[in-house]
């Protein structure tokens, strides 16, 4: 850090000189254009023209160091999430069919990411996602709506004893994963570039941390909803009393209400709705415990195991919803609000 004096040039222009060591390191010469970006705290960031343009770097994935196709697929997803545009998948020997199929299958679940070149020993993957076309809050809201539809189908399938609705819910996991990875990529890119952050609507670096946590919770809820729908399908093939179905439906409906309130409190910045969502967690947990105690002597072991798993899904969803609602409460009290403000002694 060094102190530099502001000089007046002409009648009204103010200027400061650039450190020589920095200009040499960044390759800045007379006549070059620099990008000046104002940060949220009022400071200015100076970006050389070469840095303002997205770098076209290629990252190499060494297939020989991936012990199995599952690891290979996870490395591909990791590169996508990190915001990398070009990835070369390469082996010292001919790529096996299952390796190629693994890469092809995972790229089909990554929006805008695909194979543009294929050889005996390599594949080149390219991402065409333009962050400017994906406002962060819009995509997050889409993830919420899709998860909500999936959850409602699972709940309705239990209440109406409609297996087809549960099967419909199971088909939506693919799209929720795609949106989760897309948002993760946007947030990672925003963390690396203030320009991208502003393009997708991130005003405060704290938003990146909070939104990353929220979408992770939504993704986990989506996974649990998928398990829930799967357990509903199994349960509908069993014979249990109407009373148990009705009670299960009530618990599922309360959990869905909690989910709806928790996520809406994030987008609406409503502390009252968030608090209501947190309060419902105790109800879900109490009902789940009561059913677990009562069903021990009323069901055969196989059906009891399915019911226990289903109740466990609802309990974990409630815990995740509570965590989302608590983030919403923190968001509200951190900003300008009527509930909590800086104290000034009279």
Residue 161 belongs to domain with CATH number? 1.20.58.220
pLDDT band at residue 120 using 50, 70 and 90 as cut-offs: very high
Would residue 261 count as lying in a domain? yes
> How large is the average pLDDT for residues 76-101?
96
- Clarify whether residues 113 and 153 are in a common domain: no
**Quick one: pLDDT at residue 292?**
86
Residues with Cβ < 8 Å from 127, sequence gap 6 or more? 80, 84, 85, 86, 110, 112, 113
Would residue 91 count as lying in a domain? yes
**Quick one: pLDDT at residue 324?**
97
- Clarify whether residues 301 and 264 are in a common domain: yes
The CATH number for 32's domain is: 2.10.260
- Clarify whether residues 266 and 208 are in a common domain: yes
> How large is the average pLDDT for residues 119-126?
96
Would residue 191 count as lying in a domain? yes
- Clarify whether residues 120 and 142 are in a common domain: no
Cα gap 228→234, rounded to integer Å: 10
- Identify the residue whose tokens are 């805008």: 112
**Quick one: pLDDT at residue 38?**
65
Would residue 238 count as lying in a domain? yes
Residue-wise pLDDT tens digits, 255-305: 999 999 999 999 999 999 999 999 999 999 999 999 888 876 778 888 889
Whether the pLDDT of residue 54 is over 70: the answer is: no
- Clarify whether residues 119 and 174 are in a common domain: no
Grouping H, G, I as helix, E, B as strand and the rest as coil, residue 221 is: helix
Would residue 345 count as lying in a domain? no
Would residue 339 count as lying in a domain? no
The overall average pLDDT reported for the chain is 90
Would residue 344 count as lying in a domain? no
**Quick one: pLDDT at residue 56?**
65
Q: What domain count does the chain have?
A: 3
Whether the pLDDT of residue 146 is over 90: the answer is: yes
> How large is the average pLDDT for residues 76-94?
96
**C-alpha torsion sign, points 81, 82, 83, 89:** negative
45 phi, psi to nearest 5 deg: -115, 130
The angle formed by the CA atoms of residues 242, 243 and 244, to the nearest 5 degrees, is 90
> How large is the average pLDDT for residues 73-91?
96
Cα gap 312→138, rounded to integer Å: 31
Whether the pLDDT of residue 30 is over 90: the answer is: no
Whether the pLDDT of residue 344 is over 90: the answer is: no
- Clarify whether residues 248 and 157 are in a common domain: yes
Domain of 30 in residue numbering reads as 7-52
Residue-wise pLDDT tens digits, 247-265: 999 999 999 999 999 999 9
Residue-wise pLDDT tens digits, 219-233: 999 999 999 999 999
Domain boundary among 81, 99, 127: 127
- Clarify whether residues 28 and 88 are in a common domain: no
163-170: long-range contacts, CB 8 A cutoff, minimum separation 24:
163/232, 163/233, 163/236, 166/229, 166/230, 166/232, 166/233, 166/236, 167/229, 167/233, 169/225, 169/226, 169/229, 170/226, 170/229, 170/230, 170/233
Cα gap 218→143, rounded to integer Å: 8
The angle formed by the CA atoms of residues 106, 109 and 114, to the nearest 5 degrees, is 70
- Clarify whether residues 40 and 68 are in a common domain: no
Tokens matching residue 301: 């072991």
- Clarify whether residues 155 and 115 are in a common domain: no
């Amino acid at each position: 850090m060094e102190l530099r004096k502001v000089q007046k040039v002409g009648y009204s222009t103010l200027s400061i000189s650039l450190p020589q060591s920095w200009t040499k390191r960044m390759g800045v010469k007379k006549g070059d254009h620099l990008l000046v970006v104002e940060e949220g705290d009022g400071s200015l960031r100076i970006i050389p023209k070469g840095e303002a343009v997205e770098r076209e770097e290629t990252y190499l994935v060494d297939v020989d160091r991936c012990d199995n196709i599952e690891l290979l697929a996870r490395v591909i997803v990791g590169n996508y999430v990190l915001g990398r545009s070009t990835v070369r998948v390469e082996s010292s020997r001919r790529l096996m069919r299952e390796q190629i199929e693994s890469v092809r299958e995972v790229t089909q679940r990554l929006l805008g990411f695909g194979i543009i070149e294929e050889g005996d020993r390599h594949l080149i993957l390219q991402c065409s996602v333009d962050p400017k076309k994906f406002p962060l809050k819009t995509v997050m809201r889409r993830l919420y709506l899709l998860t909500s539809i999936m959850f409602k189908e699972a709940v309705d399938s239990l209440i109406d004893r409609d297996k087809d609705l549960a099967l419909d819910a199971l088909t939506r996991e693919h799209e929720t994963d795609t949106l989760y990875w897309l948002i993760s990529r946007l947030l990672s890119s925003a963390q690396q570039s203030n320009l991208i952050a502003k393009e997708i609507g991130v005003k405060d670096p704290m938003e990146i941390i909070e939104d990353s946590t929220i979408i992770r919770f939504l993704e986990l809820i989506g996974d649990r909803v998928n398990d829930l729908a799967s357990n509903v399908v199994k349960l509908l093939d069993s014979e249990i009393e109407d009373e148990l179905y009705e009670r299960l439906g009530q618990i599922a409906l309360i959990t869905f209400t909690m989910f709806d309130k928790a996520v809406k409190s994030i987008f609406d910045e409503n502390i009252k709705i968030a608090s209501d969502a947190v309060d419902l967690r105790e109800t879900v947990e109490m009902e789940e415990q009561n059913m677990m105690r009562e069903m021990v002597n009323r069901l055969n072991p196989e059906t009891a195991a399915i019911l226990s798993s289903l109740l466990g899904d609802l309990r974990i969803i409630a815990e995740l919803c509570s965590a989302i609602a608590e983030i919403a409460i923190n968001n509200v009290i951190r900003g300008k609000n009527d509930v909590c403000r800086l104290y000034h002694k009279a």
